[in-house]
Each structure stands twice: as C-alpha cells, then as structure tokens.
Structure 1
Amino acid sequence: MEYRQIHYWQYVPGLEEENVLEAALDLSQKGRHDAYLAEIASFISENTGAKYVIIGQLSEDKKHIHTLVFMKDKTVLDNYTYPLKGTPCEVAVAQRFCYHPFDVAPAFPDDLELQELQIESYLGSILLSDDNEPVGLTVLMDVKQIENAAFAEHLIMVLSPAIEEEIKMLR
C-alpha cells in the first residue's frame, strides 16, 4: 500500500536496524494473545527509546482516539479516550503521518496532555482498514527529541499490518 513508505527522508537501515526489523516481522507473525498490542508497544519502545507509545483506535465519529495501549517507559498505563481536535494526532489522521522533532507542545497549545507530560517530540502514523480508511494511530512521544525518527517510522510501518489486524478483530 502506498502509505507504507518512509515519508520525509532517504533512509537505509543499518545491520543492527535490519535485525530489529526482522524481529518485528517475526513479532507481527506471532500468535495473537490478550496482551499482543502491549507486546508490540513494548517492542517499539525498547527499539526506539521513546518514553511514550500509544496504540489507539479511532472512534466511529472520527473525533476521538481510544487508547488500546498507553505505555510510559515500557509500563502499561490505564487506557483513556481523548479528542483529536487541536492535537498532533489530528494532523496524523488527516495527513497519514505527523512528525515534530521538537517544540511539539507549543505548536499545539490546546493539547493540555502534551503540556502536562512536557512532550518535546512526537511521531504519529495512521493505521488503516482494508478499505484504506483510518482506524487508528501508532504514536511515539518523548520529553527529548526522538532518536532516529526514520528508523522509528520504518519500524511502525513493519508492525502496522499486525496492529491493524488486531483493531479489525476488536471491531
């Protein structure tokens, strides 16, 4: 599918990154279980160094995201629902991808969560249905710049089909 391309940079993974991407492919083909999305989020966090990872499902009215996994420092936190309006997630849904390497909180002053968590950097990628309709997002956030954002996007891209399949089964 066309959206599964690295967006804003020329990127060729190194040997260590190739090994991580191979492990991601193995994970995406692994048998499903109740904590599968949390396992994927933990894998993303571990291999990108992102402080926060969110895997979220878009509401039927397409105005909210309900987190299926909300993880901080590889610890799963309580899920919650938040409005898209005025957030970088709104941009990710509209443009299929959103990356703010720094100063994301000031760029979205109405997003109080970004302020409260002191988020500096944001990377969000859309999840799509079989009909290429938005169904959710995978988001990385950090209090510092996300290291190697091109690799992070590539990793999310590899894991997106498995996440999308889980969302489809939840619906």
Structure 2
Amino acid sequence: MEYRFVHHWNYALGEDEHRILESAISLTTQPRDESFLQQAADFIAAYTQVQYVLIGSLSIDGNYVITNVFLKNGEQQPNITYPLQYTPCDAVMTQRFCYYPNNVQRYFPHDMELQELNIESYLGSIFLSEDSEPVGLIALMSDKQIENAAFAEHLVLVLSPAIEEELIQQHKS
C-alpha cells in the first residue's frame, strides 16, 4: 500500500506530534491480529480528541458501509450498516478525502444520523485495495470543530496502509 500525502494543510509538526506519529508507525509494524482495527481506532481517538471514530468496509455492491469499529468518546459501540447516499462518507468515496470543519449537517440535510449524533465537524478518508479500488473508509466526527484537523489527517494517512491491509485481509476471509 502507498502512503498518500497530506495535501490540504500548510503546517509544521510539533515535537509531540512527531512522537505520536512515530508511535503510530510503531503500531503498524508490530505483529497484527484481529484487534488491530480496534487498536488503530483507539489510537486515533486518543490523539485527535474527536467524539466519534468509525472504520468501515464497503458492502459488495458499494452502496453501504459496514462498520468494523465504531467508537463514541473512546468506547466501543455496536457495529452498524448504513447507506452511503446523502452522507459525507459518500463524498469521501468520490473525493478520497473530505473535511467539513463546521456545520456539516447543512451540507447533508438528508443524513439523519448526523443530526441525531449532533455532528458539527467531519473528517473522512478512503481506504483502497492494491488495485486502487475503494474497500472502506474512516470517519472522524465531533460535535465541535476538530481541533487540529491537519494533524488528524496526517495521523490517519500514516495508519492508512496498515488499516487497508487489514480490511482487505478481512474481506478475503
């Protein structure tokens, strides 16, 4: 899998951010098991301070997301399946990355879950197969603006190759 560049931001990493990214890389190089996606989501939640982290696979027809991990305030939630249509996740599928710093509900008025969860800010990125086909996505959501979205994107993209490998592996099983 390839690393994708952080392309939306002009910022310099601080010392703490470098340390966190080194820890993220270390997480990806350790032997992995079925708990890796949970570990990655926990790691992202801890260092981005977002309210929700969702890692999901695409359904066979590509019209739904089936969550592999769904966290609220760092706590595991029951996995869900939801349609992509009319959601910011659908925009992720076409744009590969989306960030809505505030008022995301205004852009997706048909997405009732955004309203129910009181989501204000959304950051999402796509996961691709070796053939560059979409296999899943990650969404970071919060009821307030994501504090350091540039770093959050950087962290997600550093972990993306390992998450992609796990999603592909799970899809094959």
TM score, norm. by length of structure 1:
0.97
Q: Who is 1:149 aligned against? A: 149
Q: Who is 1:50 aligned against? A: 50
**1:1-171 correspondence runs (5 A):** 4-171=4-171
- Report the RMSD for the aligned CA atoms in angstroms: 1.2
8 A contact 2:2–2:161 mirrored in 1: no
CA distance in 2, matches of 1:20, 1:84: 31
Matched position secondary structure for 1:145: coil
For structure 1, the residue ranges without an aligned partner over 5 or more in a row are none
Is the alpha carbon distance of 1:99 and 1:3 closer, same or farther for their aligned partners in structure 2, counting shifts above 3 Å?
Answer: farther
CA distance in 1, matches of 2:34, 2:77: 16
Counterpart residue identity of residue 77, structure 1: Q
Report sequence identity in percent: 54
Q: Deviation at 1:11?
A: 2.7
Q: Deviation at 1:2?
A: 7.6
Q: Which runs of 4+ in 1 moved over 6 A?
A: none
8 A contact 1:3–1:96 mirrored in 2: no
8 A contact 2:67–2:81 mirrored in 1: yes
Is the alpha carbon distance of 1:3 and 1:31 closer, same or farther for their aligned partners in structure 2, counting shifts above 3 Å?
Answer: closer
Q: Deviations over 1:97-131 (max 9, x none)?
A: 01000000121011000000000000000000001
CA distance in 2, matches of 1:2, 1:12: 22
8 A contact 1:127–1:136 mirrored in 2: yes
8 A contact 2:3–2:158 mirrored in 1: no
CA distance in 1, matches of 2:12, 2:136: 27
8 A contact 1:127–1:137 mirrored in 2: yes
TM score, norm. by length of structure 2:
0.96
For structure 2, the residue ranges without an aligned partner over 5 or more in a row are none
8 A contact 1:45–1:52 mirrored in 2: yes
